[in-house]
Homo-oligomer: A and B are copies of this chain.
Amino acid sequence: MKPYNELSTEELLALQSELEKKFEEIKAKDLHLDMSRGKPATAQLNLSNGMMDVLTSDSDLIGEEGVDCRNYGVLDGISEAKQLLADMSEVTKDKVIIYGNSSLNVMFDTVSRCMTHGVCGHTPWSKLDKVKFLCPVPGYDRHFAITEYFGIEMINIPMLETGPDMDMVEKLVAEDDAVKGIWCVPKYSNPQGISYSDDTVRRFAALKPAAKDFRIFWDNAYSIHHLYDNDQDVILELLEECEKSGNPDIVYKFISTSKVSFPGSGVAAVAASENNLKDFKKHMKFQTIGHDKLNQLRHVRFFKDMDGMHAHMRKHADILRPKFEAVLEVLDRELTGLEIGSWIAPKGGYFISFEALEGCAKAIVTKAAEAGLVMTGAGATYPYGKDTKDSNIRIAPSYPTPEELAVAADIFVTSVKLVSIAKMLNK
């Protein structure tokens, strides 16, 4: 296909008329489709149903360190759960604290703690005139929502194919001691599916922040969430790199089993240096007597070890892969060569990120909604919901069926085409 910007006005008008006819036909079908939420499908949930059978009234409920998992105690998690989530985090067991059901909750609480009590003895952020966070964009809306909620100023950092623009990160972090943190989804990033290069990880590990209480919020949400068996991204383990760089305290790693077992009924964890873990626990001991140890035990008994977890993730991949491919097939077939949008085919994670022509994203999402397709709100992938170029759209293919996704993708590309033509005609 010819790029749209090489078409004459007449050609564009003819195409528009044809696409509008098609669009009206789709609308007439009164469809209700949803590509907005990074939510596992029912078939994926079914994969973990066996987890509900591993603990019964006859089970041995004593943890390997002798603790009755039904009673109070064990602030930082039972030993076997630490081992499992340490393995998942690619760190040793002594570098892990087990939390409750959600890593988002841990991240929120961490920012909250930094606000009220500061980082490792430094001034609480709430006592400072200004606190800033770096936000690689496009990124995860719930990260940005947390920092916004706490009144933290957010600075956009463009995502490159290798991860965040490290020149910019290094400069801002070194120059401004108000910069206290950065949000990262280092593997199969939300929404682009980008995995940070080794160079990027090493540059993170070697950062020289002006603020001694600067921390990297490393949300490794999709660490084992591959789509392919033989084509997987591997990223360097940051904590070890930080230790090598003499920077062991610079990172908080967050992880959870939310998209491994059951979202909402999983187990979350933090991996960090000894100093940082002490800081976490100092707060934690006032906040709780301990998290749900039975659920920790349930996870360990079900997955057994990382081999078990990887085997389980291959089953997730078998369900997710055709869905991603259904969407990508339509994008490839319908949009390649038109120069009205770009995307990356991710090798894992939960999203496909679509970069429309400038000023078109909102209109595309609105257009798609007219035909019964709900997309993530345009702008959601940017701090304050402000995508100044109005071009990024997040596609979440996990919940609908591949058949529904083919239809949804068709609505999407039709909307992209119509909005792009309208933009060109209005020039």
Contacts and interface: CB of A to CB of B under 8 A. Distances in A.
Interface of A: 37, 39-40, 42, 45, 48-50, 52-53, 55-57, 59, 68-74, 100-102, 104-105, 108-109, 112, 115-117, 124, 126, 142, 145-146, 149-150, 258, 262-265, 283, 286-295
Of all A-B residue pairs in the complex, the 5 with the closest CB atoms, nearest first, are A49-B57, A72-B263, A108-B287, A45-B70, A265-B294
B292 A265 contact: yes
Contacts of A291: 101, 264
Given A52-B57, A126-B126, A265-B293, A288 B72 contact: no
Given A42-B68, A57-B50, A57-B52, A263 B287 contact: no
Contact of A40 (B37, B71, B283): B71
A32 to B, nearest CB: 15
A315 to B, nearest CB: 15
Q: Report how many copies the assembly holds.
A: 2
Tell which of A57, A124, A126 has the most Cβ of chain B within 10 Å: A57
A56 B108 CA distance: 32
Given A45-B70, A265-B294, 6 more contacts: A40-B71, A52-B56, A74-B264, A101-B292, A115-B116, A142-B289
Nearest to A41: B71
Contacts of A117: 149
Contact of A289 (B57, B115, B264, B288): B264
Contacts of A265: 69-70, 292-295
B72 A294 contact: no
Nearest to A294: B265
A286 B40 CA distance: 21
A158 B45 CA distance: 53
A65 to B, nearest CB: 15
11 contacts: A37-B72, A52-B294, A72-B258, A72-B264, A100-B101, A102-B289, A108-B287, A108-B288, A109-B287, A115-B116, A115-B126
Contacts of A295: 265, 292, 295
Contact of A45 (B49, B71, B126): B71
A280 to B, nearest CB: 14
A264 to B, nearest CB: 5
Contacts of A59: 52
